[in-house]
Amino acid sequence: MQFGIFTVGDVTTDPTTGRTISEHQRIENTVEMAKVADEVGLDVFATGQHHNPPFVAPASPPVLMGNLAAVTKNIILSTATTLITTTDPVHIAEDYAYAQHLADGRVDLMLGRGNTGPVYPWFGKDIREGIPLAIENYALLRKLWSEENVTWEGKFRTPLQGFTSTPRPLDGVAPFVWHGSIRSPEIAEQAAYYGDGFFHNHIFWPPQHAAQMVQFYRERFEHYGHGRAQDAIVGLGGQVFMAESKAKAMETFRPYFDHAPVYGGAGSLEDYTRQTPLTVGTPDEVVEATLGFRDYVGDYQRQLFLIDHAGLPHAEVMHQIELLGTKVVPQLRAEMDVRRAAGVPDAPTHASLLAARAAQATDTPSADAGQMGSVETGAPRAPKVDDVTGTRAEDR
């Protein structure tokens, strides 16, 4: 199982000091976060994509990925999220393939529609077309990564005639794709249709909601013939804050929670920690709470934590990463491995996708491929007509 952190790159005033760091410092801090996460043994570092203040998450995440590829060794570089609705699929295909080469395969991405409404008209799009944009743009992205001579016509961009995106994906294997959504079953359906991963942010909503979304994705994954429901590739988000005691953690985090743009005024810290997956306490309490996620979503493959939100001082963020790497993740890895049901696949990596393709070519199983379940490689099979609705996902 993979564990890591994600950032949305917000520039938020520290409510305890009144100080707001510069954009330059926030960007430098983000790079240091990824480096330390790699050093303490986390598996994934993911960055958001934004085009508006108060965020300085990159408008083009591959720019940051290319930098991080040069200063990290093992960690997978991902996104949280890549805006499939307002970013041209041609740019996504070329930019992420380039980052994949720079990182020697340590790249995947999470696609999402985004939650900032004004962004859509800035790029000539209509937020009311968010779902159709996500469906059409992703169908084109897959085509660009799997075919070298693309002729295509759709509703939302100019046609392509004999187009080849460059560079081609590393080793002919496209980066693995997660589809991220909090509340849209259409996106879970899209992930299931292609046999891709589904990522539920899992921060603001109660556990019952996450359970319903993940279960729907699993059922549809099995329906489309990619394997058993329990073979589906699931990721969860989450937010934690840790200290030596629960009382100290609550005391320290409370002003940040109370003034956070996404939390402030919506309820008490006690209510949120009781009603949502937000965990504030000791490392052992974070371990216990995170292990509980499995009780309602089943075995899953990726867990990412938000630990730098709401104006938290950079030194505290570094401390949180250190605690994750030394106190929390080792326990979670051991416990999750013991509890995982037989045959549940690992999260795909570039190496495992390569192994699966080689095994498919020779019709012989490999150790890596056996851990992947039915995850597809960079050369997807032809779109399948849904025998329930009688349509393809792209046509809905």
Percent of the chain whose predicted confidence (pLDDT) is above 70:
91
> Is residue 302 in some structural domain?
yes
Read off the pLDDT of residues 66-108 as tens digits, 9 standing for 90 and up. Answer: 999 999 999 999 999 999 999 999 999 999 999 999 999 999 9
Residue 284: domain span? 2-347
- Write phi, then psi, for 372 (nearest 5 degrees): -95, -10
In single-letter form, the type of residue at position 277 comes to: P
Any domain includes 384: no
pLDDT at residue 284, rounded to an integer: 98
Closest by CA position to 325, among listed 7, 30, 6, 37: 37
Give the pLDDT mean for 330-348.
Answer: 96
Pick from 296, 265, 290, 266: which is nearest to 277 by CA? 290
**Is beta strand 150-152 parallel, antiparallel or unpaired with respect to 160-163?**
antiparallel
| Residue-level pLDDT at 388 | 41
- What phi-psi label fits residue 186: left (phi over 0), alpha (psi between -120 and 50 degrees) or beta? alpha
Token pair, residue 277, equals 């997956």
| Inter-residue contact 21 to 61 (CB < 8 Å) | no
**Over residues 198-215, mean pLDDT:** 92
Say yes or no to pLDDT of 379 above 70. Answer: no
Where are the strands (E) in 113-246, listed by range?
Answer: 150-152, 160-163, 177-180, 197-200, 234-236, 240-242
Q: Is residue 129 part of a domain?
A: yes
Between CA 237 and CA 305 the distance in angstroms is 6
Domain count, the chain: 1
User: Which CATH number belongs to the domain containing residue 95 in this structure?
Assistant: 3.20.20.30
Residue 127: C-alpha distances to residues 188, 189, 261 (Å):
19, 20, 22
Handedness of CA 245, 247, 251, 254 (dihedral sign): positive
Q: Do the domain assignments include residue 394?
A: no
Q: Give the predicted TM-score (pTM) of the model.
A: 0.90
pLDDT one-digit tens code per residue, 341-372? 999 999 999 999 999 999 888 875 544 443 33
For all residues of the chain together, what is the average pLDDT? 90
Number of CB atoms found within 10 A of residue 155's CB: 8
Q: What is the mean pLDDT of residues 262-270?
A: 80
Provide mean pLDDT across the span 169-175: 98
Q: Which two tokens stand for residue 257?
A: 């929670």
SS3 assignment, position 181: coil
388 found inside a domain: no
pLDDT digits (tens, 9 = 90+) for 228-248: 999 999 999 999 999 999 999
203 within domain boundaries: yes
Q: What is the mean pLDDT of residues 174-184?
A: 93
| 340 in Cβ contact with 274 (< 8 Å) | no
> How confident is the model over 272-284, as pLDDT tens digits?
999 999 999 999 9
